[in-house]
Amino acid sequence: MVSRKKMAFENFEHEADIGVRGTGKSIEESFQEAAKAMFSIEVSIAKVNAKNKIKIKASASNIQELLVEWLNKLLAESGIKGMMFSKFRVKIHEKGRKYELEGYAAGEKLDVKRHQAREEVKAATYSQLKVEKNKKGQWVSQCIVDV
């Protein structure tokens, strides 16, 4: 029997910018869902085929900063390669006083019409940044992104 994981991503209103929030059973799942939330601002991620994988590495002095690094590295790779991503996997390790992330983003070259291009995300910010467990025991990772 295949178990279904309960994960979720969403956007929330924030003055001129947009908030992204990922929820999951682990920190890793919440980071993956936050990435989906971010790319769903730019395109319809349901229409993005996860054909090509791009490796992503990031590190930071705390878990909150790691979320911002992860999201900004994804944006950089998206811009450099002209791709949109729809599938994400991460592993996070604590090494000494640092957090390190290794993972990948999978997607394809941007097709403005088919992917239903929307608004460009410029950067993930430290505004309303948090990575924590909620009252239901799920991990929540969120921040505001500049659009």
Residue 11 lies in a domain: no
- The answer on pLDDT for 137 being more than 80 is yes
Look up the domain containing 129 and give its range: 19-146
Residue 12 located in a structural domain = no
8 Å CB contact between 11 and 17: no
pTM score of the predicted model: 0.89
Q: Which pairing describes strands 123-124 and 139-146: parallel, antiparallel, or unpaired?
A: antiparallel
For residue 142, what is the domain's CATH number?
Answer: 3.55.10.10
pLDDT in tens, 10-28: 877 656 789 999 999 999 9
Tell me, what DSSP letter sits at residue 117? -
CA torsion 87→94→59→84, rounded to 10°?
0
Burial class (CB in 10 A: 0-12, 13-18, 19+), 121: buried
